[in-house]
Amino acid sequence: MTHLSAFLAALFTALLGALAVLQLLLLVGMPLGRLAWGGQQDRLTPRLRVAAGFSILIYVVFAATALARAQVITTPIPNPINVIAMWIITGYLILSVLPNLASKSPHERRLMTFVSAVLAILALAIALI
């Protein structure tokens, strides 16, 4: 583990943590829906609230994979699997920039496009470690 890889993984995890807090606030009904899930409603529908909860779990998996890839934590998952998983996460995050960029919500388009692009860049850097 290098200091740079640990820093990148920590930054990646912190940004995912901030997104998890946003999703949690959306899940409990806070009127922040303009920032996520298409930005078409202030409060998410019950179906989108479930999706928000599911996204928190995905963020946990992404963060654990990045931390394991950077050798900040150890997991029972073999390193070659972490390497592959990090590349899959990178691809997913690169693709996630597109729907944010195409959102009809100016709030989502401005904020979440930037956040998803930063996450994609960090994921790529971690994958290349």
The predicted structure's pLDDT at residue 39: 86
Instruction: Please state the φ and ψ torsions of residue 106, each to the nearest 5 degrees.
Output: -65, -30
Task: Determine what percent of the chain is predicted with pLDDT higher than 70.
Answer: 99
Evaluate if residue 7 carries a pLDDT over 90. Answer: yes
- Confidence class of residue 6 from pLDDT cuts 50, 70 and 90? very high
Integer CA distances (angstroms), 6 to 12, 15, 45, 54, 105, in order: 10, 14, 38, 26, 34
Residue type, 47: R
**Residue-wise burial string across 13-39, b where 16 or more C-beta atoms lie within 10 A, e elsewhere:** bebbeebbebbebbbeeeebbbbbbbb
What is the residue-averaged pLDDT of the chain? 95
* Structural domain harbouring 29: 3-127
Max CA-CA distance within the chain? 44
Q: Which of 115, 118, 106, 107 is nearest to 35 (CA)?
A: 107
The predicted structure's pLDDT at residue 40: 86
Q: Please name the residue that has the structure tokens 């998803």.
A: 116
Please state the domain count of the chain: 1
d(CA 23, CA 19): 6
